[in-house]
Each structure stands twice: as C-alpha cells, then as structure tokens.
Amino acid sequence: MAEYKHTLNLPKTKFPMKANLAQREPEQIKKWEAMKLYDKLREGNKGKPVFVLHDGPPYANGDIHLGHAVNKILKDIIVKSKTMAGFDAPYIPGWDCHGLPIELQVEKKVGKAGKKVSTSEFRAACRKYATKQVDGQRSNFKRLGVISDWDHPYLTMDFKFEADIVRALGKIIENGHLHKGAKPVHWCADCGSSLAEAEVEYEDKSSPAIDVRFAILDMEALKTRLEHIDHKHLCDDVSVVIWTTTPWTLPANQGVAVNPGLEYSIIKCSGAGEECLILASDLVEACTKRYEVNDIHVVGTCSGEALENLKLKHPFYDREVPVILGDHVTLEAGTGCVHTAPGHGQDDFIVGQKYHLKVDNPVGPNGVFVEGTPLFAGKHVFKANDDVLEVLRTNNALVHAEKLLHSYPHCWRHNTPIIFRATPQWFISMDQKNLRADAMKQIKETTWLPEWGQARIESMVEGRPEWCISRQRTWGAPIALFVHKQTEEIHPRTIELIEQVAQQIEQKGIDAWYELDVKALLGDEADDYYQVKDILDVWFDSGVTHYVVMNQREGVEDYPVADLYLEGSDQHRGWFQSSLLTSVAMTGTNAYKAALTHGFTVDEKGHKMSKSRGNGVEPTKLSNTLGADILRLWVAATDYRGEMTFSNEILKRIADAYRRIRNTSRYLLANLDDFDPEIHKVAIDKMVSLDRWAVARTHQLQQELEEAYSNYEFHKIYQKVHNFCAGDMGSFYLDVIKDRIYTMPTDSQARRSAQTAVFHIVEAMVRWFAPVLSFTAEEIWKFLPGERTESVFFSEWYAFPDIPKDEYGMDLDYWNQVIEVRDVVNKELEALRTAGEIGANLQAEVELYCGREIFDLLNRLEDELRFVFITSTTKLYIAGEPPKEAQHVTLSSNDEIWIAVSASEHQKCERCWHYREDVGANAQHETLCGRCIENIDGDGETRLYA
RNA sequence: GUGAAGAUAGCUCAAUGGGUAGAGCAACUGUCUGAUAAACAGUGUGUUUCGGGUUCAAGUCCCGUUCUUCUCGCCA
C-alpha cells in the first residue's frame, strides 16, 4: 500500500511541536549571554539613527510582580522592534536604590541607625541589601527574555551617581529654585521624617471628633460688636465652639478661625447651667442635635467678620487666642469655627501668618510631645487624644465627643496615620523662578500617549505645592549645604562647594559628606556654618536619571533627551513629573520627547492585583511553568492603554494562540526541509501566480505590522499575525499548496516556487514576532535554511523582492474574489458531507454556473481551479440553465453563481488522493492517476497559477 | 468626595465625518489521518453596563447611572 508514499515530498522537520519553553528559554538566555548579544548589537548598529528608550528605575526591593514584568516587556518589545526597524536602540536598565523602604528592611535586620549601629554601618548594610535586591530582580527580568545592558545597569547608589545627584541639586540651586521653609509638612512619626506628597496615601481612620468651647474673655468687646442685639439675653458665659478630629493639636492652638462672609448665631442653651454658644447659623441645627440640647434660643446673629480679634481663652492653657478670619472655613462639617494650630496644618499656617500667630510645634520627630509641654509631655500624639479629652472635661470645655470614621493621610510605607508638623525643610519652589510656568510649557512640547496623559500631568503640575526634598533619614544622597549659623543663609560659594563635595562622593560614596573635613573645605569660616544633615527625597534621585545617565553613559553620550519614557500611568505623579521638574529646573527643557503609559494589571473581575487581595501573579513562576514567551504574548495581546486583565481563561487563550503561531511556523519549516535558497529559490517573476499572491499578501501585512509597531499598538500585531496564521495561511494558502509540494517532482519549478514563497513568508514572519516571542523566534531562526547570523536580532524587517505586475492579472483583488467563491463552494461541500455523501473535499466534484464576469475570472485558472478548491474536478459554465439541484448564491459583488456539488464516481488515486477518471488507465501503475504518473515517471506536470 | 480613562459576543480585539454591530479564538458538530498532544470545514452567539434625550437613523452625539482603574484631597 505504501508503494508510492516514498515518491512524495512530505513535510519533515526537527523543529519540535511542543514548545517546552520552561526548559528551553533558560538555555537560550545563556546563549545570548555567551554571544554577548547586547554588546554586539551596539557594535553592529553603530551609525544607524539612534532611538533611546530611557529606563525608569524600579525600586530595588522585593520580588518583581506582574506590573514590573509588563513594564519591562513592553520596553523590550519597543527596543527590539526599533532595532529591527533599523535603529540603534540602546537599553540601559536602572534601579532606584536609596530610600525608606530599604531602610525599613535593614532596620529589621541590624536595628535603627544611630542606635544599635552607627549611621555609616547602617548605610553599608543598606548598600549591601540593595545590591542583593538588584541582583534578584535582574535575574527575574533576564528570565523574561529582556535584552539589555544587564552587566552595566545604572544604580542610584553608584558613587558616581550619588555624586551626580548632588551636582544636579547644585545646578538647581544655581538656577534659583531652592527654598528653605518651615511650614507644616506631612510627617511620619515612624519614619521620623517628613514625607513628600507622593508618599502619602489616604485611608480610613477612626478619630475622636470633638466640639470644644473657647470662652470669650472680653464680654465688653463682644457686646460692642453686637450692638444690634439685646444684651440682656446674653449669658455670662459665651463660648465659640470649634470642632476637630485631632484633639492632640489643641496644645498648639493659637486661634480660632471664622469665615468673614458667613453668618454666625449666638444661641442660648438651657441645661445644667445657662450658657451662650457661637456657631455658624447654618450649622446650628446639626450642632445642637449633636449636643442633644433641645431648649435653645437664638439670641442674635452677626457676620464672621464682626468677631475678628475677639479674645478667647484657650481651653486648658493659660493662653489668650484671637478669633481670626479665613476663607478656608466652610460649612461642610463642624461648627463653622475652626481651631487653628499653625504648626499642624497648612491652612492654619497660611492664615496664621497673616495674624502673626506663633508657629508652635510641641511635637517631636517621633510623634511625642516634647519635654516642657504642659500636661502632655512624653505622650505620643495619638495616645494623647484621650488625655486631651480628659483635660477638656476637667476644664468644662468639652461640648461633645464622638468617633468619626474618615479618610486620613497615612504613610505609604508604614501604613500608619501621619501628622502635620512644622519643621525647617528644603523645597524646590514651583514659582520663585517660574518652574511651574516653564514646566507647563515643556509639557506642551512633549508627546503624551495616550493623549489624555497631557491633561493629567498638566493638572498635577498646575496645582502641586512646592516640592519638599528634604528627609531626616540616613540612606540617601545628602543635601550638601552649609548654612550660616546666624543668618540661616546658605554659603555664598555653595555651587563651588557642592562640586568639591561631589568629587569626594564620587570617590567614597555618600559617606564622604558625613566624614567631611569641613575645616579643609571652608577654612576660617568653618565655625560660622553648620552642615545640613538632611538627605534628599528618593524621588529626586530617580528624577535626575536624565542628567546622570542620558548624555553621559556610553551609547547615549551624545544624546541629552530621551525619545521615550514608558511607565505605568501612576508615574504621571511620580517619575514623569520628578524628571520633568528637575530637568526643567536644570536645563529649561524636558528630558524626554514622549511619555507612553500603560495601565495596571487587574484580575478577571477587573480588580487590581495586590498582596492583600491575594490575586497577584508571579511572573517568574509563570515563566518557569508556561514560559516567558506566553507571558510576553499576553502583554503584546493586551491593549495596555487601559487596565490589563489577567486570568486563567485569558492565559489559556493566549497559550492556544501561541501554539497556532508556533505550529504554523513549524509547518512552514517542515516544507523547507529540502530547500536551499541559494540553489532552489525561484525568481519572483517565474513563480506560480498563487505563490506570488502569498508573497504579496505577506508583504502587505508586514507594512501593516511595521506601522503598528511604530505606533506601539502591539495588540494589533497579535491579532493580525494570528489571523494570518489561521486564515491566510492555515485555511487557504498552506492547504492549497500541499498538493504541489507533496506530489510534484522535487525539483520542479512549481514546487520550488511554492517553497520559495514559504521561504519568504517564514523569513518575514520570524522577524515580525521576534520582538514579542523572542525565544520562539530565536528557535525558529536556527531551523531556517540558508546562511544565518547568530541571532534573529541582528536582522531588520525582511526585505521582500519587488513583485512585478502579475502577467495573468491575478493580483490581491483577484485572489480575494476567488477566495470568496471558494468559501461558498466550501459551504456546499459541507452540506454534502453532512448528508454523508463525501468525506474529504477531494472526493467531490464541483460545477459552477455563473455570469460572464465570474466565469472569466475563474476560467483564468483553467484546470487549476480545482486545486484552489481542493476538489477533484471543477467545471465552469456560463449560467444559462443551471440544474435544479444547484445552489444559488449572490456574491458580495452582486454577481450570481449557482453551485452544484456531487460525490465523484471515479477512483481515488493512491498517491495524490484525487478522484480521477484516468486512475488505473496505466497498467504499470494501476492505482495512480495520469498526473501522478507524469510526476514520477515523466517530466512532471505544469502549473502556472495555483 | 475631585479629576481623568474605560466598560462592545465566553476570551482578546474591530467598527472611517452617526446609516442593518464584525474578526480570530473558545464552544459545538463533522471530516481527514501525508502539519497528528495537529490540520481542514461548518454552526450559532450580542437589550454594545444601565436609564433617558437629540435624530428619519446612535456602540458612535448630549445628560444621568453603575462598576473598575489611575489621580487628587486641610473635612479642620
């Protein structure tokens, strides 16, 4: 039976069907390292136009999560696709290494800096810890197939980097943006440090909400203000009532603010004793209800303005505080009278300055009332709340107390409530040298993708407060300033001194600042100045990577502005902004030409992935089970502009799609087993028409893909490549050419023609998905016939041969029409099959009755039409009188066609499986058709079209 | 609570300046056994989150709603 099977050219390949990615990928990574792929790419691409995607540094702490993987894979896809598009695209990875999260981890191990260990020992431990974290994350990123300069990353803790951070600060000072202030800032008692806006998160907290009497001291003054009301209704005791959720700030109270434009009521309550309370008129009802007093009588009303400068008694200290006016007072909650502690609130501070109120801050850095604070010294503020309540009760100042659940700022690292605390801090001013305005201009000069990113960052920069860059911590770059002990002015030679300090830091790291020989630096002035011991906000570190890396590092040394920054959408508030601000402050222009953002990963319910929800996914674990290419394909397939949904079902679909792409590649390779392009490649104008179509169609798709790559629309690439594999290739072209490749003489032109097309297709295809399925592409690359470079990444998009106008007029449009007819024929064949009359299509014969146009169209294929339909016989007729059993179909061109299908009555050729009349006609080959005999014994058949 | 973005078949994505909602995958059914832990063929599927409005006509424009994500926030 297998007599003729050996005369066929069946597909053959060692390319494995089963991907086995988990095992193969690590081997490939080793090969990339061994061949020094990254270095060779830099060398080989020298002189090409440069494209720089500047890597935003992940924080060097903890294992990478899916979000990290998404970010790095997207960057990798872009860098690789740019490389294949003919750019020199260096990719220097970085890590953010200073900062509190690392300090906290190290504290757990060695104890607090300056207590159990010296600060320099502590810094050494931090450096060691960060190094380890970088190593861990780096191997995780490598495992994802990301190609980058892994051996030479930039670390913000490199001595050179640390020195350059200080230099960057110097540049910003030189440009006049530094500002020293003492306003209240977010303060974390656990950190013992100020926090930036970005380090604050709002969470629900239960606080005491209390109403407190501030008795009016000067009744005569009050009466003067209230001339229009009958004074006899006034009680002896009149109090302004404030409402607060932070009782612990009362010791620092310096006034009570009312809104000048609001109306206030003096109400008389009769209870245990008679008293009068002053409340905003609109809040009287809510307040008295809260106080549970029923018997009330409104004595009179007045504007808030009328109360200005009335003297009040502090509820428990022997202190007179004034009534002051402020527009920030609203009717949203409380009493309309606001307790004002300038040291503990931003509005309080601002309004306090107008009235020259004392900025009292009795709270130490650890959140404990300092020694000498009457009644509360030594108590932690949140614990002191109860004590304050007790004291208020004792002093009969407490009107009401309850619990309130409200949104309250928390430290993003400790997750503990933070406080406002007025301390001397360093700021980058947004306005003293027009930083805000200049940054706003630069935002307009920058491309934001998606577009709404611009509106987002504009609103942020427009409204943000000045940037508090000082931290009272240990592990970070120093604010290397000398401040005059008397004048509090920074040293006049600051810029010069900073450079000298930077040079020392470059040699010894940040410890150089603390071991500094101040005398040597300042000479006789040394005693007049103190050295600032605050460190810089870590956001400053990462914010100046544009200065430290771009324009300095090899590969990007002549390149001051990055083409692209690519981060999660949260970085509008983070790195995009810190980079923008520092860059504008230093140079006047932005550090990047375009900012591209991706969304966050969410689970199948659309909820974000987080540790606490337990719905997170470990990318490394995924790589080691399903393979990094599956993960990469998911990243590419997902429209990252919105949320990126990850679920088991999605992953399953992705794995299915992967198998389809892989298998298509495998089949293409299998048909090239005996093909050597040097010897067998058929010139494009000598190819069979259908093969030329296949090349043209592939070329057309490549153009679409190149555009999608340059627009960073990877999900389109996924869709198009997949559809190409399943549609154009699987269900049409590859199915049709089987007959030619399998049954025609090995070296026949028509067979080599098909192989030539397959060769062009796989050459193109392997490049298309190399940026995404890097491991698989590399694997295919090795199986491709012909001379090969070491890696697919040394090549650019495939250069197709110029396709001449088809001599038979069979262009893309032509074949699209044929395919449409093929589809309707297939439907009829399916009906025949369902009826049990045929099995395979080759068992069928087809008769088509059509109008002149379609007839001419199909007739151009002559007898080869049957190969396009994969049927044994196809006959064409001018419509006339179609038989009754013929199915009538209207094509999209409005042309009509009648289709009659039937099972063939002929014998099946053992070799080509067609059912032909001439099977058995030749006595020497009783089971073969004439075509097969010609193909094995004769010169072989001729094919022109399909 | 603010601002922004999104919500279209089970999944991933489409749908030019408003004109009968489309692909692929999955599912199901069948075929083949010369891509075989494959391949081919055929078959459905949607109150386009929901509710209004404008219009001859709305996934598309307007108003509102719900949910999600990012973001902001002195409830003192």
The two tokens of residue A586 are 């230093």
Question: Any idea which nucleotide's C1' is nearest the CA of A572?
Answer: B71
DSSP lists the bridge partners of residue A187 as: A194, A419
Nearest protein residue to nucleotide B23 (CA to C1' distance) is A723
> Nearest residue to nucleotide B1 when comparing alpha carbons to its C1'?
A407
Closest residue, CA to C1' of B75? A333
Lookup: nucleotide whose C1' is closest to A465 CA: B72
- Residue–nucleotide distance: A66 CA to B68 C1' (Å): 19
3-state secondary structure of A744: coil
* Separation of alpha carbons A385 and A387, rounded Å: 5
SS3 category, A509: coil
Q: What's the Å distance between residue A642 CA and nucleotide B66 C1'?
A: 19
Please answer whether residues A644 and A70 qualify as being in contact, where contact means their C-beta atoms are separated by less than 8 angstroms. yes
> What span, in angstroms and rounded, lies between the C-alpha atoms of A408 and A356?
28
Q: Strand B nucleotides below 7 A of a protein CB? A: 3-6, 10-14, 23-26, 30-43, 67-76
Q: How far is the CA of A93 from the C1' of B24 (A)?
A: 36
> And the tokens for A200?
């604050």
Which residue has 């005369």 as its token pair? A7
Using a cut of 0.80, tell me whether the model's pTM lies above it. yes
Question: What ipTM did this prediction achieve?
Answer: 0.96
The Å distance, CA of A444 to C1' of B10, is 43
How far are the Cα atoms of A108, A694, A764 from residue A760, in angstroms, in the given order? 60, 9, 6
Residue whose token pair is 């932690």: A380
Q: Alpha-carbon dihedral of residues A847, A851, A852, A853, nearest 10 degrees?
A: -100
Residue A312's pLDDT is what? 82
What is the distance in angstroms between the CA of the first residue and the CA of the last residue of chain A?
29
Whole-number distance in Å between A181 CA and B53 C1': 54
Nearest of A481, A538, A544, A536 to residue A513 by alpha carbon: A481
- Cα(A100)–Cα(A471) distance, rounded to whole angstroms? 10
Specify the nucleotide whose C1' lies closest to residue A452 (CA). Answer: B4
Closest residue (Cα, C1') to B30: A834
Q: Name A808's Cβ contacts closer than 8 Å, sequence gap at least 6.
A: A689, A860, A944, A945
Considering only CA atoms, name the residue closest to the C1' of nucleotide B73.
A202
Instruction: Give the closest nucleotide to A569 (alpha carbon vs C1').
Output: B70
Distance A658 CA to B27 C1' (A): 19
Measure the CA–CA gap between A419 and A410, rounded to whole angstroms.
9
Q: For residue A73, give the H/E element and its range.
A: helix A66-84
> Do A643 and A607 form a contact (C-beta atoms < 8 A)?
no
Cis peptide before A450 (omega within 30 of 0): yes
Tokens of A111: 């104890």
Strands (DSSP E) along A751-884, which ranges?
844-850, 873-878
Q: Which nucleotide is nearest to A450 (CA to C1')?
A: B5
Report the distance from CA of residue A886 to the C1' of nucleotide B21 in Å, as an integer: 32
Q: pLDDT at position A272, please?
A: 60
Contact A275, A238 (CB under 8 A): yes
pLDDT of residue A611: 77
Tokens matching residue A175: 């440009």
Compute, in degrees rounded to 10, the torsion defined by CA atoms A670, A676, A679, A680: 20
d(CA A897, CA A708): 38
From the C1' of B37, which residue's alpha carbon is nearest?
A: A18
pLDDT along chain A (946 residues), means of 10: 85 95 96 97 95 95 93 97 97 94 89 87 95 96 97 96 96 93 80 72 78 82 74 74 85 83 79 75 76 75 79 82 79 80 80 77 80 79 81 79 77 79 86 92 93 90 86 91 88 94 95 92 90 91 93 82 94 92 94 94 88 84 95 96 93 95 97 97 96 96 95 95 95 96 96 98 97 97 95 97 91 92 94 93 95 93 95 92 88 89 95 95 94 94 95
Main-chain phi, psi angles of A186, to 5 degrees: -60, 135
Rounded distance in angstroms from the CA atom of residue A142 to the C1' atom of nucleotide B74? 46
CA of A903 to C1' of B31 (A): 14
Q: Which residue is nearest to nucleotide B10 (CA to C1')?
A: A649
Q: Give A300 CA → B76 C1' in Å.
A: 25
- Interior angle at CA A773, CA A772 and CA A774, nearest 5: 95
Nucleotide nearest to A827 (CA to C1'): B42
The predicted pLDDT at position A679 comes to 96
Protein-to-nucleotide distance from the CA of A143 to the C1' of B10, whole angstroms: 32
- Nearest nucleotide, C1' to the C-alpha of A463? B72
Nucleotide nearest to A201 (CA to C1'): B73
Q: Which residue is nearest to nucleotide B36 (CA to C1')?
A: A17
- Name the closest nucleotide to A608, judged by C1' and CA: B69
Q: Which nucleotide is nearest to A637 (CA to C1')?
A: B12
Q: What whole-number distance in Å separates Cα of residue A213 and Cα of residue A400?
A: 10
Instruction: Identify, with chain letter, the residue nearest to nucleotide B67 (CA–C1').
Output: A606
A36-42's contacts with Cβ under 8 Å and 24+ in sequence apart are A37/A147, A37/A790, A37/A791, A37/A793, A38/A91, A38/A147, A38/A148, A38/A149, A38/A150, A40/A790, A40/A794, A41/A83, A41/A147, A41/A793, A41/A794, A42/A88, A42/A90, A42/A555
Q: Provide the CA A853 to C1' B16 distance, Å, integer.
A: 30
**HEC secondary structure over A529-592:** EEECCCEECHHHHHHCHHHHCCCCCCCCCCCCCECEEEEEHHHHCCHHHHHHHHHHHHHCCCCE
Residue A616 CA to nucleotide B54 C1', Å? 46
Protein residue minimizing CA–C1' distance to B38: A663
CA of A661 to C1' of B36 (A): 17
Q: Which two tokens stand for residue A726?
A: 């399943």
The gap from C-alpha A765 to its chain's centroid, in whole angstroms, comes to 28
Strands (E) located in A629-722: 644-645
Q: ∠ at Cα A902 (A901, A907), nearest 5°?
A: 135
CA A645 / C1′ B47 distance in Å: 26
Q: Which nucleotide shows the minimum CA-to-C1' distance to residue A739?
A: B34
Find all residues with CB under 8 Å of A49, minimum gap 6, and list them: A86, A87, A88
CA A217 to mean position of chain CA atoms:
59
Q: What is the dihedral of CA A629, A634, A638, A644, to 10 degrees?
A: -130
- Choose among A336, A301, A418: nearest CA to A323: A336
Nearest nucleotide to A344 (CA to C1') is B74
What Å value separates CA A610 and C1' B6?
Answer: 20
Which nucleotide is closest, CA of A644 to its C1'? B69
Which nucleotide lies nearest residue A650, CA to C1'?
Answer: B11
- Give the residue with minimal CA–C1' separation from B68: A606
3-state secondary structure of A426: strand
> CA of A403 and C1' of B73: distance in angstroms?
21
Smallest Cα–C1' distance to nucleotide B2: which residue has it? A459
Phi (first) and psi of residue A219, to 5 degrees: -65, -35
Q: What pLDDT score does A342 carry?
A: 83
Q: Mark A107-135 as b/e (b = at least 16 C-beta within 10 Å).
A: beeeeebeeebebeebbbbbbebbeebbe
Nearest nucleotide by C1' position to the A666 CA atom: B35
| DSSP class per residue in A232-301 | GG--S-EEEEEEES-GGGGGG--EEEE-TTSEEEEEEEESSSEEEEEEEGGGHHHHHHHHT---EEEEEE
CA distances in angstroms from A115 to A111, A380, A471, listed in the order given: 7, 20, 18
Question: For residue A463, with 0-12 CB atoms within 10 Å meaning exposed, 13-18 middle and 19 or more buried, which class applies?
Answer: exposed
Say what the pLDDT of residue A231 is. Answer: 66
Alpha-carbon span A624 to A140, nearest angstrom: 11
CB atoms under 10 Å from CB of A176, counted, come to 13
CA A623, CA A25: separation in Å to the nearest integer? 9
What is the spatial distance between Cα A381 and Cα A376, in angstroms, rounded to a whole number?
Answer: 9
Instruction: Find which nucleotide's C1' atom is closest to A259's CA.
Output: B76
Q: What is the DSSP string of A93-137?
A: -EEB--SHHHHHHHHHHH--BTTTB-HHHHHHHHHHHHHHHHHHH
Among the residues of A155-195, which ranges form H helices? 159-174
Q: How far is the CA of A654 from the C1' of B10 (A)?
A: 15
Q: How far apart are CA A118 and CA A702, in angstroms?
A: 62
**Burial readout A499-535 (b: 16 or more C-beta within 10 A, e: otherwise):** eebbebbbeebbbbbeebeeeebbeeeeeebebbebb
Q: Straight-line distance from CA A176 to C1' B8, in Å? A: 53
Amino acid A364: pLDDT: 78
Nearest to A264, CA basis, from A311, A293, A226, A210: A226
Which helix (H) or strand (E) is A448 found in, with range?
A: strand A447-449
φ, ψ of residue A707 in degrees (nearest 5)? -65, -45
The Å distance, CA of A737 to C1' of B56, is 51
